[in-house]
């Protein structure tokens, strides 16, 4: 139950194992009473081991999700870095990174445009608004669009405009990967005599 279900299912299975051991295998049989000290010890051990196994199974599932997620993030960075080295990087990389960032609801690239004061995703993964730092941990991403600027040696080249799904709370890892992809975009565009073409 712990391996196939969740932490609660594993806990209920552990309690059930201990209770039904008492009911079926301890004297007096067929009653929820325990007469011998050895049976009490077995009951407690069944319960404790069952609860421990359910916690370990939940932890293993979490590690599996983290490993898969980390591998996906690494693959995104690797693909983008490889593309940044290609001769056509300036033409291809904005669209490639835009596609990588569409795990949000919507993403578009605006070359050379810097209008308004939308919330901004910084290189450290934090989000800043005109009122200061935005608490993404509890509030998720700000409503509306968030900009992710593309720079090359401090020079502004453009920005990705990110529109999150309602209530979206991308973890810090995801925000850092997005910032890394924007940095790779800036490096690719900065090494080319890139003239914004409205892509």
Residue appearing with tokens 């050895």: 38
**162-179 residue pLDDT tens:** 888 877 788 888 888 888
Res. 148 pLDDT band, cuts 50 70 90? very high
* Average pLDDT of the segment spanning 67-86: 78
pLDDT, greater one: 63 or 126:
126
Which whole-number Å values give the CA distances from 132 to 116, 119, 127, 128, 188, in the listed order?
A: 16, 9, 9, 5, 31
Q: Are 159 and 147 in contact (CB under 8 A)?
A: yes
pLDDT of residue 151 exceeding 60: yes
Q: How far apart are CA 55 and CA 60, in angstroms?
A: 9
Q: Which two tokens stand for residue 53?
A: 């196994």
Q: Residue 192's pLDDT is what?
A: 55
Rounded mean pLDDT of 147-166?
89
Q: Residue 69 belongs to what H/E stretch?
A: helix 37-84
pLDDT at position 194 over 60:
no
Q: Which residues contact 193 (CB under 8 A, 6 or more apart)?
A: none
Of 26-30, 42-46, 150-154, the one with minimum mean pLDDT is 26-30
Q: Give the pLDDT of residue 69.
A: 67
Q: How far is residue 34's CA from residue 118's CA, in Å, rounded to a whole number?
A: 67
Residue the block writes with tokens 């995104």: 76
Question: Quick one: average pLDDT of 38-65?
Answer: 79
Give the pLDDT score at 197: 41
Sheet of 155-163: strand order equals 106-111, 155-163, 146-152, 120-121, 127-129, 132-134
């Amino acid at each position: 139950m712990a391996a196939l279900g969740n932490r609660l299912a594993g806990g209920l299975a552990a309690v059930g194992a201990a209770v039904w051991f008492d009911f079926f295998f301890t004297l007096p049989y067929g009653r929820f009473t325990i007469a011998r000290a050895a049976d009490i010890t077995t009951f407690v051990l069944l319960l404790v081991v069952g609860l421990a196994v359910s916690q370990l199974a939940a932890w293993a599932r979490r590690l599996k999700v983290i490993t898969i997620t980390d591998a996906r993030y690494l693959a995104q960075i690797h693909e983008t870095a490889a593309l940044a080295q290609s001769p056509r990087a300036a033409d291809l990389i904005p669209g490639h990174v835009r596609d990588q960032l569409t795990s949000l609801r919507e993403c578009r690239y605006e070359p050379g445009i810097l209008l308004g004061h939308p919330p901004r995703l910084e290189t450290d993964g934090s989000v800043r608004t005109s009122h200061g730092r935005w608490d993404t941990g509890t509030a998720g991403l700000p409503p509306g669009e968030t900009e992710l600027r593309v720079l090359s040696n401090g020079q502004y080249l453009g920005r990705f405009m990110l529109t999150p799904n309602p209530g979206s709370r991308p973890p810090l890892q995801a925000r850092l990967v997005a910032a890394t992809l924007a940095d790779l975009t800036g490096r690719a565009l900065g090494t080319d005599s890139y003239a914004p073409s409205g892509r």
